[in-house]
Amino acid sequence: MAQTTTLKEFESVFPKLVEDILDHAKSYKLPQQGLDWFKDVSIA
């Protein structure tokens, strides 16, 4: 069964998730504008 994660725990790892997603997106050579948009939306 899956373990429950608190909001505080999730928020502590979220910046790393954003970083990993952006790194993966860069491998698809997405435009910088799209990468910037995702980063801005992620920290809003």
What are the tens digits of pLDDT across the range 6-33? Answer: 999 999 999 999 999 999 999 999 999 9
What residue type is 15 in one-letter code?
A: P
Cα distances (angstroms) measured from residue 28 to each of 18, 23, 25, 32: 16, 9, 5, 11
Alpha-helical segments (H) within the chain: 7-26, 32-42
> Residue 13 domain-assigned?
yes
User: Would 17 be classed as within a structural domain?
Assistant: yes
Which structural domain, as residue segments, surrounds residue 23? 7-43
Residue 34 lies in a domain: yes
- Measured in whole angstroms, how far is the alpha carbon of residue 18 from the centre of its chain? 2
Q: What is the pLDDT of residue 43?
A: 79
Dihedral sign, Cα of residue 21, residue 19, residue 42, residue 39: negative
Res 19: pLDDT: 95
Q: Establish if 26 belongs to a structural domain.
A: yes
Residue 1 is assigned to a structural domain of this protein: no
Residue 2 forms part of a structural domain: no
The pLDDT of residue 7 is 96
Cα–Cα distance measured from residue 6 to residue 12, given in angstroms and rounded to the nearest whole number: 10
Residue 31 lies in a domain: yes
